[in-house]
Amino acid sequence: MKALRFHQFGGPEVLQFDEDAPVPEPAEGQIQVRVSGAGVNPVDWKLREGYLQAYFPVDLPATVSWEFSGTVSKLGAGVTQFEVGDEVYGHSRYGTMAEYTVADVVGVAKKPFSMDLPDAASVPMCATTAYQALFDVAGLKAGQRVLVQAAAGGVGTFAVQLAKWKGAYVIGTASAKNHHLLQEIGCDEVIDYRTTPYETVVKDVDVVLESVGGDENMRKSLSVLKPGGILVSISSAQPTEEAEAQGKRAEYCFMQQNSSQLTIIANLIQDLKVRPVIDTVVPFHEAVEAEKENQEGHVVGKMVVDVRR
Ligand SMILES: NC(=O)c1ccc[n+]([C@@H]2O[C@H](COP(=O)([O-])OP(=O)(O)OC[C@H]3O[C@@H](n4cnc5c(N)ncnc54)[C@H](OP(=O)(O)O)[C@@H]3O)[C@@H](O)[C@H]2O)c1
Protein backbone atom coordinates (compact mmCIF):
# COMPACT_ATOMS: atom_id res chain seq x y z
CA MET A 1 0.00 0.00 0.00
CA LYS A 2 0.99 3.64 -0.27
CA ALA A 3 2.24 5.25 2.95
CA LEU A 4 4.14 8.37 3.96
CA ARG A 5 7.09 7.01 5.94
CA PHE A 6 10.54 7.83 7.24
CA HIS A 7 13.40 5.30 7.20
CA GLN A 8 15.74 7.45 9.31
CA PHE A 9 15.29 10.27 11.83
CA GLY A 10 15.58 13.83 10.57
CA GLY A 11 13.87 16.85 9.04
CA PRO A 12 11.02 16.78 6.51
CA GLU A 13 13.52 15.66 3.83
CA VAL A 14 13.49 12.13 5.29
CA LEU A 15 9.78 11.75 4.50
CA GLN A 16 9.05 9.58 1.49
CA PHE A 17 6.03 8.06 -0.19
CA ASP A 18 6.46 4.29 -0.26
CA GLU A 19 4.21 2.36 -2.64
CA ASP A 20 5.09 -1.06 -1.19
CA ALA A 21 4.47 -0.63 2.54
CA PRO A 22 2.91 -3.77 4.05
CA VAL A 23 -0.82 -3.63 4.76
CA PRO A 24 -1.06 -4.02 8.58
CA GLU A 25 -3.16 -6.92 9.88
CA PRO A 26 -5.27 -6.39 13.02
CA ALA A 27 -4.15 -8.32 16.10
CA GLU A 28 -6.49 -9.34 18.92
CA GLY A 29 -8.41 -6.29 20.18
CA GLN A 30 -7.60 -4.28 17.06
CA ILE A 31 -9.39 -3.21 13.91
CA GLN A 32 -7.99 -2.57 10.47
CA VAL A 33 -9.17 0.71 8.95
CA ARG A 34 -9.25 1.88 5.34
CA VAL A 35 -7.99 5.38 6.07
CA SER A 36 -9.77 8.46 4.68
CA GLY A 37 -8.08 11.24 6.63
CA ALA A 38 -4.97 11.56 8.77
CA GLY A 39 -4.47 14.53 11.11
CA VAL A 40 -1.26 16.57 11.11
CA ASN A 41 0.13 17.25 14.60
CA PRO A 42 3.35 18.57 16.21
CA VAL A 43 3.97 15.04 17.55
CA ASP A 44 4.59 13.95 13.93
CA TRP A 45 7.76 16.02 13.62
CA LYS A 46 8.83 15.38 17.21
CA LEU A 47 8.72 11.63 16.52
CA ARG A 48 10.31 12.00 13.08
CA GLU A 49 13.23 14.01 14.46
CA GLY A 50 13.78 11.39 17.20
CA TYR A 51 13.03 13.70 20.16
CA LEU A 52 10.55 11.30 21.73
CA GLN A 53 12.61 8.09 21.46
CA ALA A 54 13.04 7.89 25.25
CA TYR A 55 9.24 7.93 25.74
CA PHE A 56 7.79 6.45 22.54
CA PRO A 57 10.48 4.45 20.74
CA VAL A 58 9.77 4.33 17.01
CA ASP A 59 10.76 1.33 14.88
CA LEU A 60 11.96 2.30 11.42
CA PRO A 61 10.59 2.58 8.84
CA ALA A 62 7.71 4.40 10.53
CA THR A 63 4.47 5.73 9.08
CA VAL A 64 3.55 9.36 9.89
CA SER A 65 0.59 10.48 12.08
CA TRP A 66 -1.22 9.10 15.11
CA GLU A 67 -4.83 9.92 14.25
CA PHE A 68 -7.27 8.97 11.53
CA SER A 69 -10.78 8.81 10.19
CA GLY A 70 -11.89 5.97 7.93
CA THR A 71 -13.93 2.82 7.43
CA VAL A 72 -13.47 -0.43 9.34
CA SER A 73 -12.13 -2.99 6.87
CA LYS A 74 -11.28 -5.98 9.13
CA LEU A 75 -11.81 -7.05 12.73
CA GLY A 76 -9.14 -8.60 14.93
CA ALA A 77 -9.96 -11.51 17.24
CA GLY A 78 -12.35 -10.63 20.06
CA VAL A 79 -13.59 -7.35 18.61
CA THR A 80 -17.33 -6.93 19.09
CA GLN A 81 -17.64 -3.13 19.36
CA PHE A 82 -17.38 -2.50 15.59
CA GLU A 83 -18.49 -4.00 12.29
CA VAL A 84 -16.82 -3.93 8.91
CA GLY A 85 -18.08 -0.80 7.16
CA ASP A 86 -18.43 1.35 10.29
CA GLU A 87 -17.19 4.91 9.83
CA VAL A 88 -14.82 5.61 12.70
CA TYR A 89 -12.22 8.01 14.00
CA GLY A 90 -9.49 7.66 16.56
CA HIS A 91 -5.88 7.22 17.57
CA SER A 92 -3.28 4.78 16.37
CA ARG A 93 0.38 4.71 17.26
CA TYR A 94 0.97 2.37 14.28
CA GLY A 95 0.94 5.25 11.76
CA THR A 96 -2.10 6.50 9.87
CA MET A 97 -0.87 8.44 6.81
CA ALA A 98 -1.37 5.37 4.65
CA GLU A 99 -4.10 3.55 2.78
CA TYR A 100 -4.67 1.26 5.79
CA THR A 101 -3.88 1.38 9.48
CA VAL A 102 -4.64 -0.74 12.51
CA ALA A 103 -5.87 0.64 15.83
CA ASP A 104 -6.54 -0.69 19.32
CA VAL A 105 -10.31 -0.49 19.87
CA VAL A 106 -9.73 1.42 23.13
CA GLY A 107 -8.71 4.40 20.98
CA VAL A 108 -11.54 4.32 18.43
CA ALA A 109 -15.19 5.44 18.27
CA LYS A 110 -17.86 6.07 15.63
CA LYS A 111 -17.09 9.38 13.97
CA PRO A 112 -19.50 12.33 14.44
CA PHE A 113 -22.26 11.76 11.86
CA SER A 114 -22.23 15.47 11.04
CA MET A 115 -18.63 15.39 9.79
CA ASP A 116 -17.29 14.10 6.50
CA LEU A 117 -14.84 11.25 6.63
CA PRO A 118 -11.56 12.94 5.94
CA ASP A 119 -12.47 15.96 8.11
CA ALA A 120 -13.21 13.84 11.17
CA ALA A 121 -9.48 13.07 11.39
CA SER A 122 -9.03 16.63 12.69
CA VAL A 123 -10.61 15.74 16.02
CA PRO A 124 -9.21 12.79 18.01
CA MET A 125 -5.78 13.90 19.21
CA CYS A 126 -6.46 17.56 19.99
CA ALA A 127 -9.99 17.24 21.32
CA THR A 128 -9.07 14.35 23.62
CA THR A 129 -5.99 16.20 24.87
CA ALA A 130 -8.03 19.31 25.65
CA TYR A 131 -10.75 17.22 27.33
CA GLN A 132 -8.29 15.33 29.55
CA ALA A 133 -6.20 18.40 30.43
CA LEU A 134 -9.23 20.51 31.40
CA PHE A 135 -11.50 17.94 32.99
CA ASP A 136 -9.48 14.86 34.08
CA VAL A 137 -6.37 16.73 35.28
CA ALA A 138 -7.55 20.27 36.15
CA GLY A 139 -11.11 19.32 37.18
CA LEU A 140 -12.42 22.52 35.56
CA LYS A 141 -15.81 23.61 36.89
CA ALA A 142 -18.51 26.06 35.83
CA GLY A 143 -17.70 29.61 36.88
CA GLN A 144 -13.93 29.07 37.02
CA ARG A 145 -11.50 31.16 34.99
CA VAL A 146 -9.15 29.46 32.56
CA LEU A 147 -6.26 30.76 30.44
CA VAL A 148 -5.84 28.78 27.21
CA GLN A 149 -2.47 29.42 25.57
CA ALA A 150 -2.07 29.04 21.80
CA ALA A 151 -5.86 29.17 21.68
CA ALA A 152 -6.00 29.28 17.86
CA GLY A 153 -4.12 25.99 17.48
CA GLY A 154 -5.33 22.41 17.30
CA VAL A 155 -5.62 21.80 21.04
CA GLY A 156 -6.49 25.43 21.80
CA THR A 157 -9.58 25.66 19.58
CA PHE A 158 -11.04 22.56 21.25
CA ALA A 159 -9.99 23.70 24.74
CA VAL A 160 -11.75 27.07 24.36
CA GLN A 161 -15.00 25.40 23.29
CA LEU A 162 -14.90 22.61 25.87
CA ALA A 163 -14.22 25.12 28.66
CA LYS A 164 -17.13 27.28 27.48
CA TRP A 165 -19.38 24.24 27.30
CA LYS A 166 -18.47 23.55 30.93
CA GLY A 167 -19.45 27.13 31.86
CA ALA A 168 -15.99 28.55 32.49
CA TYR A 169 -14.74 32.07 31.77
CA VAL A 170 -12.17 31.67 28.98
CA ILE A 171 -9.15 33.83 28.21
CA GLY A 172 -7.14 32.90 25.09
CA THR A 173 -3.79 33.97 23.64
CA ALA A 174 -3.27 34.25 19.88
CA SER A 175 -1.94 36.69 17.32
CA ALA A 176 -4.37 39.46 16.30
CA LYS A 177 -5.39 37.84 13.00
CA ASN A 178 -7.01 35.00 14.97
CA HIS A 179 -8.95 37.07 17.50
CA HIS A 180 -12.18 37.09 15.52
CA LEU A 181 -12.12 33.30 15.36
CA LEU A 182 -11.48 33.03 19.10
CA GLN A 183 -14.41 35.29 19.90
CA GLU A 184 -16.61 33.28 17.55
CA ILE A 185 -15.77 30.01 19.30
CA GLY A 186 -16.39 31.46 22.76
CA CYS A 187 -13.36 33.26 24.22
CA ASP A 188 -14.47 35.91 26.72
CA GLU A 189 -11.12 37.70 26.44
CA VAL A 190 -8.39 37.47 23.84
CA ILE A 191 -4.80 38.59 24.24
CA ASP A 192 -2.40 39.30 21.38
CA TYR A 193 0.67 37.55 22.72
CA ARG A 194 2.84 39.36 20.17
CA THR A 195 2.12 42.80 21.68
CA THR A 196 0.87 42.13 25.22
CA PRO A 197 2.64 39.69 27.55
CA TYR A 198 -0.33 37.82 29.04
CA GLU A 199 1.25 37.84 32.53
CA THR A 200 0.86 41.64 32.60
CA VAL A 201 -2.92 41.57 32.09
CA VAL A 202 -4.14 38.22 33.44
CA LYS A 203 -4.40 37.34 37.11
CA ASP A 204 -6.21 35.01 39.50
CA VAL A 205 -7.15 32.28 37.04
CA ASP A 206 -8.08 28.84 38.34
CA VAL A 207 -6.52 26.92 35.46
CA VAL A 208 -3.79 27.54 32.89
CA LEU A 209 -3.61 25.22 29.89
CA GLU A 210 0.05 25.62 28.97
CA SER A 211 1.06 24.61 25.45
CA VAL A 212 3.90 26.92 24.47
CA GLY A 213 6.72 25.28 26.46
CA GLY A 214 9.92 26.44 28.14
CA ASP A 215 10.88 27.32 31.72
CA GLU A 216 10.13 31.02 31.33
CA ASN A 217 6.62 30.39 30.10
CA MET A 218 6.07 27.97 33.00
CA ARG A 219 7.05 30.70 35.47
CA LYS A 220 4.76 33.23 33.80
CA SER A 221 1.94 30.69 33.78
CA LEU A 222 2.31 30.11 37.52
CA SER A 223 2.30 33.86 38.15
CA VAL A 224 -1.23 34.32 36.75
CA LEU A 225 -2.77 31.50 38.83
CA LYS A 226 -4.71 32.22 42.00
CA PRO A 227 -3.60 30.38 45.17
CA GLY A 228 -4.73 26.77 44.82
CA GLY A 229 -4.89 27.09 41.02
CA ILE A 230 -3.48 24.51 38.62
CA LEU A 231 -1.13 24.72 35.67
CA VAL A 232 -1.60 21.86 33.21
CA SER A 233 1.25 21.54 30.74
CA ILE A 234 0.93 19.54 27.54
CA SER A 235 4.18 20.68 25.93
CA SER A 236 7.10 20.33 28.36
CA ALA A 237 7.99 19.34 31.92
CA GLN A 238 5.84 20.98 34.57
CA PRO A 239 7.41 23.02 37.45
CA THR A 240 6.03 20.90 40.29
CA GLU A 241 8.20 22.23 43.14
CA GLU A 242 7.97 25.88 42.16
CA ALA A 243 4.19 25.53 42.02
CA GLU A 244 4.01 23.88 45.45
CA ALA A 245 6.18 26.62 46.96
CA GLN A 246 3.56 29.12 45.78
CA GLY A 247 0.59 27.08 47.06
CA LYS A 248 -0.35 26.08 43.51
CA ARG A 249 -0.22 22.86 41.48
CA ALA A 250 1.48 21.94 38.22
CA GLU A 251 0.73 18.73 36.31
CA TYR A 252 1.71 17.29 32.94
CA CYS A 253 -1.04 15.78 30.82
CA PHE A 254 -0.19 13.24 28.16
CA MET A 255 -3.21 12.20 26.14
CA GLN A 256 -4.41 8.66 26.78
CA GLN A 257 -6.48 6.79 24.19
CA ASN A 258 -10.09 6.84 25.31
CA SER A 259 -12.97 5.54 23.23
CA SER A 260 -15.69 6.78 25.63
CA GLN A 261 -14.33 10.33 25.53
CA LEU A 262 -14.23 10.19 21.73
CA THR A 263 -17.94 9.31 21.82
CA ILE A 264 -18.68 12.21 24.19
CA ILE A 265 -16.77 14.53 21.84
CA ALA A 266 -18.62 13.17 18.79
CA ASN A 267 -21.92 13.93 20.55
CA LEU A 268 -20.80 17.48 21.41
CA ILE A 269 -19.90 18.04 17.74
CA GLN A 270 -23.23 16.61 16.54
CA ASP A 271 -25.08 18.81 19.06
CA LEU A 272 -23.19 21.85 17.72
CA LYS A 273 -21.62 22.50 21.13
CA VAL A 274 -18.15 22.10 19.63
CA ARG A 275 -17.10 23.04 16.09
CA PRO A 276 -13.83 21.57 14.81
CA VAL A 277 -11.75 24.32 13.22
CA ILE A 278 -10.08 23.02 10.08
CA ASP A 279 -7.32 25.03 8.45
CA THR A 280 -7.10 22.92 5.29
CA VAL A 281 -7.69 19.42 3.95
CA VAL A 282 -4.89 18.61 1.52
CA PRO A 283 -4.51 15.72 -0.93
CA PHE A 284 -2.08 12.93 -0.03
CA HIS A 285 0.62 14.15 -2.43
CA GLU A 286 0.80 17.45 -0.45
CA ALA A 287 1.31 15.73 2.90
CA VAL A 288 5.00 16.66 3.20
CA GLU A 289 4.18 20.37 2.75
CA ALA A 290 1.45 20.03 5.38
CA GLU A 291 3.92 18.49 7.83
CA LYS A 292 6.37 21.35 7.17
CA GLU A 293 3.68 23.96 7.72
CA ASN A 294 2.59 22.39 10.99
CA GLN A 295 6.19 22.42 12.22
CA GLU A 296 6.35 26.18 11.64
CA GLY A 297 3.75 26.47 14.43
CA HIS A 298 1.09 28.83 13.07
CA VAL A 299 -1.63 26.61 11.67
CA VAL A 300 -5.14 27.74 12.65
CA GLY A 301 -7.02 24.76 14.08
CA LYS A 302 -6.07 21.58 12.25
CA MET A 303 -4.69 20.35 8.94
CA VAL A 304 -5.92 17.04 7.57
CA VAL A 305 -4.44 14.89 4.81
CA ASP A 306 -7.03 13.21 2.60
CA VAL A 307 -5.21 9.98 1.78
CA ARG A 308 -7.81 8.96 -0.83
CA ARG A 309 -6.85 11.67 -3.32
N1 LIG B 1 0.72 16.15 25.88
C2 LIG B 1 -0.09 15.76 24.90
O3 LIG B 1 -0.76 14.73 24.98
C4 LIG B 1 -0.20 16.63 23.67
C5 LIG B 1 -1.20 16.40 22.73
C6 LIG B 1 -1.33 17.27 21.64
C7 LIG B 1 -0.41 18.32 21.50
N8 LIG B 1 0.59 18.46 22.41
C9 LIG B 1 1.55 19.57 22.31
O10 LIG B 1 0.86 20.78 22.59
C11 LIG B 1 1.39 21.84 21.81
C12 LIG B 1 0.27 22.47 21.01
O13 LIG B 1 -0.24 21.52 20.10
P14 LIG B 1 -1.23 21.97 18.94
O15 LIG B 1 -1.57 20.78 18.14
O16 LIG B 1 -2.31 22.79 19.50
O17 LIG B 1 -0.24 22.90 18.11
P18 LIG B 1 -0.53 23.78 16.83
O19 LIG B 1 -1.93 23.60 16.38
O20 LIG B 1 0.55 23.51 15.85
O21 LIG B 1 -0.34 25.26 17.39
C22 LIG B 1 -0.37 26.29 16.44
C23 LIG B 1 -0.90 27.53 17.12
O24 LIG B 1 0.01 27.98 18.11
C25 LIG B 1 -0.09 29.38 18.18
N26 LIG B 1 1.11 29.91 18.79
C27 LIG B 1 2.39 29.75 18.39
N28 LIG B 1 3.22 30.36 19.27
C29 LIG B 1 2.43 30.93 20.23
C30 LIG B 1 2.70 31.70 21.42
N31 LIG B 1 3.93 32.00 21.78
N32 LIG B 1 1.64 32.09 22.17
C33 LIG B 1 0.37 31.79 21.80
N34 LIG B 1 0.06 31.09 20.69
C35 LIG B 1 1.09 30.65 19.93
C36 LIG B 1 -0.31 29.83 16.76
O37 LIG B 1 -1.09 30.97 16.78
P38 LIG B 1 -0.69 32.27 15.95
O39 LIG B 1 -0.68 31.87 14.50
O40 LIG B 1 -1.74 33.22 16.33
O41 LIG B 1 0.71 32.61 16.39
C42 LIG B 1 -1.07 28.64 16.12
O43 LIG B 1 -2.45 28.91 15.99
C44 LIG B 1 2.51 21.20 20.97
O45 LIG B 1 3.74 21.37 21.64
C46 LIG B 1 2.14 19.74 20.93
O47 LIG B 1 3.25 18.89 20.72
C48 LIG B 1 0.71 17.65 23.48
190/39 Cα distance (integer angstroms): 27
pTM greater than 0.85: yes
For the stretch 70-105, pLDDT in tens is 999 999 999 999 999 999 999 999 999 999 999 999
What's the domain range around 244? 126-252
Residue of 266, 254, 221, 257 lying closest to 239 (CA atoms) = 221
Residues 6 or more apart whose Cβ sits within 8 Å of residue 26: 32, 74, 75, 76, 79, 102
* pLDDT attached to residue 139: 98
Last residue of a domain, one of 212, 236, 252: 252
Does ligand 1 have an atom closer than 6 angstroms to the CB of 129?
yes
- 223 in any annotated domain: yes
The answer to whether the CB of 156 is under 6 A from ligand 1 is: yes
Q: Are residues 183 and 81 in the same domain?
A: no
Asked if residue 269 is part of any domain, the answer here is no
The residue contributing the CA closest to ligand 1 atom 4 is 234
Low-confidence ranges of the chain (pLDDT < 70): none
The tens digit of pLDDT for each residue in 233-286 reads 999 999 999 999 999 999 999 999 999 999 999 999 999 999 999 999 999 999
Give, in order, the Cα–Cα distances in Å from 98 to each of 40, 103, 238, 288: 13, 13, 35, 13
Q: Give domain status of residue 103, yes or no.
A: yes
From the CA of 61, how far away is ligand 1's center (Å)? 27
Q: Do residue 15 and residue 93 come from a single domain?
A: yes
Residue of the CA atom closest to atom 39 of ligand 1 = 298
Same domain, 237 and 130: yes
Cα gap 131→262, rounded to integer Å: 10
Task: Check if the beta carbon of residue 255 is closer than 8 Å to that of residue 131.
Answer: no
The verdict on the CB of residue 144 being under 6 Å from ligand 1 is no
CATH number of the CATH domain containing 185? 3.40.50.720
Ligand 1 touching residue 298 (CB < 6 A): yes
* Residue 58: inside a domain: yes
Angle formed at CA 267 by CA 265 and CA 271, multiple of 5 degrees: 120
Of 289, 235, 277, 300, residue with least CA distance to 12: 289
Is 267 within the bounds of a domain? no
Cα separation, 257 vs 267, in Å, equals: 17
Q: How many of the other CB atoms lie within 10 Å of CB of 74?
A: 17
Tell me the three state secondary structure of residue 133. Answer: helix
For the chain, strand residue ranges (E) read 3-6, 15-18, 30-40, 62-63, 67-75, 87-91, 100-104, 108-110, 145-148, 169-174, 189-192, 205-210, 225-233, 249-252, 278-283, 302-306
Residues 156, 114, single domain; the answer is no
DSSP string, 23-63: PPPP-TTEEEEEEEEEEE-HHHHHHHTTTTTTTS--PSSEE
Compute the CA torsion angle 89, 93, 98, 99 (nearest 10 deg). -50
pLDDT at site 120: 98
Please tell me if the CB atom of residue 43 comes closer than 6 angstroms to any atom of ligand 1.
Answer: yes
Residue 2 is given by DSSP the state -
- Rounded distance, CA 191 to CA 198, Å? 7
The answer to whether residue 260 sits within a structural domain is no
State the distance from the centre of ligand 1 to the C-alpha of 192, rounded, in angstroms. 15
Same domain, 225 and 118: no
Instruction: Give yes or no for residue 172 CB within 6 A of ligand 1.
Output: no
41 and 12 in a common domain: yes
Asked if 103 and 157 sit in the same domain, the reply is no
Q: Within this chain, do residues 140 and 110 fall inside the same structural domain, yes or no?
A: no
Q: Which residue's CA lies nearest to atom 18 of ligand 1?
A: 153
Q: Is residue 200 part of a domain?
A: yes
**Total number of domains constituting the chain:** 2
Ligand 1: which residue has its CA nearest to atom 22?
153
The rounded distance, in Å, linking the Cα atoms of 94 and 103 is 7
Q: Are residues 155 and 118 in the same domain?
A: no
Atom of ligand 1 nearest to the CA of 42: 47
What CATH number has the domain bearing residue 105? 3.90.180.10
Do 131 and 102 belong to one domain? no
Q: Is the CB of 254 under 6 A from ligand 1?
A: yes
How many CB atoms are closer than 10 A to CB 65? 28
User: Are 174 and 248 part of one and the same domain?
Assistant: yes
Residues 23 and 76 both lie in one domain: yes
Predicted local confidence at residue 88, as pLDDT: 98
Ligand 1 centroid–CA 154 distance in Å is: 7
Residue whose CB lies within 8 A of the most ligand 1 atoms, among 40, 41, 182, for a mutation test: 41
Examine residue 258 and state whether it is found in any structural domain, yes or no. Answer: no
Q: Phi and psi of 161, rounded to 5°?
A: -70, -35
193 touches ligand 1 (CB under 6 Å):
yes
Nearest atom of ligand 1 to the alpha carbon of 217 = 31
Measured from the CB, is residue 178 less than 6 Å from ligand 1? Answer: yes
